[in-house]
Amino acid sequence: MVVPWSGFDLINAFNSWKVSAQAGRRFVVDSAGSATIATTGLSWRAQVCQQVCEEAAVDLGRALTAWADSRSGKRPGGRMGFPTFKRKSRTQPSFRIRCKTKAGRASIRVGDPMAGPRSICLPRIGVLGVREDTRRLRRMIRGGRAHIRYATVSCRAGRWTITVTVEAAHLHPARQHPPRPHADSGGWVGIDRGLTALVVAADTTGRQRLRVTDPPRPLRTALPRLRRLSRQVTRKRRGSRNRAEAVTRLARAHHRVANVRRHFLHKVANHLVKTHDRLALEDLYTAGLLRNRRLAAAISDAGWGQLARIIGYKQHWRGGQVTRAPRWYPSTKMCSACRIVGPALPLSVRVFRCDGCGHTADRDVNAAVNLAVWAEQHHIHTQPQTRDPEARGPVTKASRRTGSGQRPSAGATSPDDGGTHRYGHP
């Protein structure tokens, strides 16, 4: 069956196919012993909410449209591949339900009075208990400040999660974080990422603004337990229930490692974007650095790429600026005083000494200053981006607690006050 690629066309094609003989049929034998073929269609279709299949068709339509626009040049960015089939055993189980309102009653209800405050009601599924407190979300919905659009049910590491997508105008970044005047935005601050010190931030004057030492290193801490759980998986018979349970235990251990790392990176990123409007990073080739077998585990445990991604979208929320120096910019070998590029420094050398002018500085501070100077030279006439309060904003956690939105001065906050929700994702 050849159909157009829009979501509605795919939904109509699925509705026509689900009642056909190709979807399901069975043999019916009468009392005389003669057999006939009866078309049953999808017999289990009535047990599943129709929006599950409809939203899957909408996603497929978007993927096909993106692939076609990428081939024709209408879609900017990298080349999009053709959508591939997602096998059930190799993908994360997930489905999405759209919230509909009928007779003034929403199909997705949070904290139903008949079920209790920590509950959510989904169509065709019923009432489900949740672990998190839904008080703030219920108040927003009751006051008309938020409207539920979707609910996504997913399973990761053996734990089911319900993500509620709401439309809330007051959560738009332009209203949460009013932009500061251009004169008060401050200069560029370079951020050098490393292993001994995860983050070292400095401005163009050589003043160190932040140094984050002794990160948690969750992978190194959990490595003995991960090895033990991995051995348990290999000793179980393939396809057995014991092996499935062992795989789930191993996945939960890896999930906890990722959560600990992500929580710490969010705290560091929040501190940086709260105190500085202009941040300069280095475009590190992380995939190439991971080829070093001696440093691959430490680099993966540090989460350099994830930290840069978090800083990027959080700074975008607040209307700040983030720039990246080229990959081959010699920030470590260049002297921040006379701008002379020296020889490469091994990782064991922690103090930078210039052979030309005799300047001496900490290795990480010198690299951060060079990044700040590069950003100042290449972004002289740029202004902080202006945001339209009426425009659609990015996805924001409704449980995220925020203050007045105005950035405090440097030193007024610490990384400890910028944590994220325990069970939330960016």
Residue 136 and residue 34 in one domain: no
Instruction: Give the integer Cα–Cα distance in Å for 332 and 223.
Output: 31
Residue 150 and residue 190 in one domain: no
Catalytic residue ranges: 192, 282, 364
Residue 412 belongs to a domain = no
Residue 352 and residue 319 in one domain: yes
Residue 348 and residue 271 in one domain: yes
Per-residue confidence (pLDDT) for residue 385, from 0 to 100 = 54
Residue 389 belongs to a domain = yes
Given 106, 138, 171, the domain boundary residue is: 171
Residue 135 belongs to a domain = yes
Residue 404 belongs to a domain = no
Residue 36 and residue 102 in one domain: no
Structure tokens belonging to residue 178: 């009013």
b/e burial code for range 34-56 (CB count within 10 A of at least 16 → b): eeeeeeebbeeeeeebbbbbbbb
Given 146, 171, 196, the domain boundary residue is: 171
Per-residue confidence (pLDDT) for residue 76, from 0 to 100 = 86
Structural domain including 339 reads 180-219+254-394
Report the length, in residues, of the chain: 426
Residue 294 and residue 201 in one domain: yes
Residue 286 and residue 354 in one domain: yes
3-state secondary structure of 102: strand
Residue 329 belongs to a domain = yes
Residue 145 and residue 186 in one domain: no
Per-residue confidence (pLDDT) for residue 398, from 0 to 100 = 43
b/e burial code for range 272-295 (CB count within 10 A of at least 16 → b): bbbbbbbbbbbebebeeeeeeeee
Residue 20 and residue 99 in one domain: no
Residue 49 belongs to a domain = yes
Which of these, 178, 108, 193, 204, lies nearest to 147 by C-alpha position? 108
Residue 417 belongs to a domain = no
Residue 406 belongs to a domain = no
**Which residues contact residue 227 at a Cβ distance below 8 angstroms, ignoring those fewer than 6 apart?**
none
Residue 295 and residue 159 in one domain: no
Per-residue confidence (pLDDT) for residue 304, from 0 to 100 = 92
Q: What is the 3-state secondary structure (H, E, C) of 298-349?
A: HHHHHCHHHHHHHHHHHHHHCCCEEEEECCCCCCCCECCCCCCECCCCCCCC
What total number of domains does the chain contain? 3
Residue 312 and residue 376 in one domain: yes
Which of these, 120, 146, 122, lies nearest to 131 by C-alpha position? 120
Helix (H) or strand (E) holding 150, with range, is: strand 147-156
| R_g of the chain, CA atoms, integer Å | 27
Residue 95 and residue 61 in one domain: no
pLDDT in tens, the chain (426 residues): 455 778 888 888 888 888 888 888 777 777 777 777 777 778 788 888 888 888 999 999 999 988 988 988 888 888 888 998 888 878 888 999 999 888 888 899 998 887 888 999 999 888 999 988 889 999 999 888 899 999 999 998 888 999 999 998 877 776 777 666 654 467 899 999 999 899 999 999 889 999 999 899 999 999 999 999 999 999 999 989 999 999 999 999 999 999 999 999 999 999 999 889 899 999 988 888 888 888 899 999 999 999 999 999 999 888 888 999 998 899 988 998 898 898 888 888 889 998 888 889 999 999 999 999 999 988 765 555 555 444 444 444 444 444 434 444 433 333 343 333 333 343
